[in-house]
């Protein structure tokens, strides 16, 4: 194990999937073929676990053990169902409206950890991340978050459009943090249930998610740099939401 816990070998990987552990991704050697591999692929499809075919050299770098052409990375955090999260939030008897933060393909592990740390400090109800194309919830992310990612509910969802529609059905407003916004971030009413979307470091929030948002909120920038680091922008937005929920603004 280096930055992530790994399991290698065909039978051990099949067994760890069957155990219910949270498997991040499975790497399969190019050209590998066997009846046991067919069984593995079936389980991967059944549980919708991401997998990819890679050169044997990549597997050799991941482990010096007898990997038999298969290596799985195990999630360091426990993921929750977004539907279950919604039901749980509905059942909570709290005065403060919940804030959920959706991270649209944040790829930098340190940004992920920093956002998680601020989210935990500001009482965010949960983080929502995509099941593919996002920074891994590995030891680096957990360390950067000072362990917050181990205490904060995290939902890993396949389809963000479905997730947003579900949040709307439960009465959440959808707020996109974007430099393309027309609303000053302090004009957003965070005293109501809110799902806040933060975008990828390079491309921002995807156009389809922007179209689904109810409010496009912007942070004022007077310098020549066009945008803030996503973890900094996240911190400003989350603390504004906290201040409003505490009745300070």
Q: Are 185 and 240 in contact (CB under 8 A)?
A: yes
Give the pLDDT of residue 227.
79
Give the per-residue pLDDT at 215. 97
Q: Hey, what domains does the chain have and what are their CATH numbers?
A: 5-74 (3.30.1330.30), 79-245 (3.40.1280.10)
Contact 70, 26 (CB under 8 A): yes
* Sheet-wide strand order for 183-184: 79-80, 154-157, 126-130, 99-103, 194-198, 173-177, 215-218, 183-184
Q: Mean pLDDT of all residues in the chain?
A: 91
Residue 93's pLDDT is: 66
Place of tokens 């592990």: 109
Residue-level pLDDT at 221: 87
Instruction: Output the six-digit token pair for 102.
Output: 């959706």
Within 69-108, residue ranges assigned H as helices are: 82-91
Among the residue ranges 38-52, 130-144, 169-183, the one predicted with the least confidence is 130-144
pLDDT of residue 177: 95
User: pTM for the complete prediction?
Assistant: 0.79
Q: What is the mean pLDDT of residues 110-130?
A: 96
Distance CA 104, CA 52 (A): 21
Quote the CA–CA distance of 71 and 245 in Å, as a whole number: 45
Q: How many CB atoms neighbour CB 216 within 10 A?
A: 19
Q: Which residue has the tokens 């790497």?
A: 27
Q: Phi and psi of 91, rounded to 5°?
A: -85, -5
Do 226 and 194 touch, CB atoms closer than 8 A? no
Q: How far apart are CA 44 and CA 17, in angstroms?
A: 8
Rounded Cα distance between 213 and 211, Å, is 6
Question: Residue 1 has what pLDDT?
Answer: 36
For range 214-229, the mean pLDDT: 88
What is the structure's pLDDT at 4?
Answer: 59
């Amino acid at each position: 194990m280096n930055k992530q816990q790994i399991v290698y070998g065909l039978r051990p990987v099949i067994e760890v999937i069957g155990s219910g552990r949270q498997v991040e991704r499975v790497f399969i050697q190019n050209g590998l073929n066997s009846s046991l591999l067919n069984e593995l692929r079936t389980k991967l499809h059944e549980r919708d676990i991401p997998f990819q075919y890679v050169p044997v050299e990549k597997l050799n770098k991941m482990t010096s053990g007898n990997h038999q052409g298969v290596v799985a990375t195990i999630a360091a955090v426990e993921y929750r169902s977004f539907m279950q999260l919604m039901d749980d939030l509905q059942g909570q008897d709290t005065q403060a409206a919940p804030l959920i933060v959706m991270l649209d393909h944040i790829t930098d592990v340190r940004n992920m950890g920093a956002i998680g740390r601020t989210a935990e400090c500001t009482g965010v109800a949960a983080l929502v991340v995509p099941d593919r194309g996002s920074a891994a919830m590995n030891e680096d992310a957990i360390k950067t978050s000072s362990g917050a990612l181990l205490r904060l509910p995290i939902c890993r969802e396949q389809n963000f459009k479905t997730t947003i529609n579900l949040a709307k059905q439960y009465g959440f407003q959808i707020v996109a943090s974007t430099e393309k916004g027309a609303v000053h971030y302090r004009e957003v009413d965070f005293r109501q249930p809110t799902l806040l979307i933060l975008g990828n470091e390079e491309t921002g929030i995807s156009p389809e998610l922007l179209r689904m948002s109810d409010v496009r909120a912007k942070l004022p920038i007077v310098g020549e740099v066009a945008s803030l680091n996503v973890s900094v922008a996240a911190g400003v937005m989350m603390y504004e939401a906290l201040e409003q929920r505490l009745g300070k603004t």
